[in-house]
Amino acid sequence: MSALDLQVREIVLERCFELVALSDEGVAQLGRGWTGRQQVALHFAPGRWLLPEPSIDLIRAIEANPAAILVDVDGKYRRILIGGSGAGRALRSTIALDSVLAGRDCAAVALFDCPTVLAQSGSGEAYEVWVHASYFASFTAALEVARRRIQSRPD
């Protein structure tokens, strides 16, 4: 029996924005299909996208669109990558992970009672979490507790 592994790493964001769509037509002009690992935006709620480190061209396109509002949220989120063979198990200890991400790449959820945007990262058991900065210490402490539980009970 091998021990489960939980890897946690923070990635510092240089800039971050949220896009609020005032109409479907306005967003359609900017492009659909933004969710997913290789894209520039995460559709985490109806009419809302998280734009971590967007290109200048995308920022300009959104600012020129009267049906969209771009909100600078620098400092609001801290990005954490969670991987390893115990990543899914750690997240399943706080939410119904498979149900939450069924049919979507990301969602706004509370993980360990902390507001986050959760996204699957590539294939397998790897996830990206944008945790609200004011909850970062609580979130990382809860992850450490989950790590200890996983390592003490690998089943």
Asked if 67 and 45 count as a contact pair (C-beta separation under 8 A), the reply is no
Express each pLDDT in 97-142 by its tens digit.
Answer: 989 988 888 899 999 999 999 998 876 678 999 999 999 999 999 9
Planar angle of CA 3, 4, 10, nearest 5 degrees: 135
pLDDT band at 30 (very low <50, low <70, confident <90, very high): low
Architecture of domain 7-12+76-152: 2-Layer Sandwich (3.30)
pLDDT exceeds 70 at position 1:
no
pLDDT score of 131? 96
Least confident segment among 21-25, 64-68, 78-82, 117-121: 21-25
pLDDT tens-digit readout, 8-24: 899 998 899 999 988 87
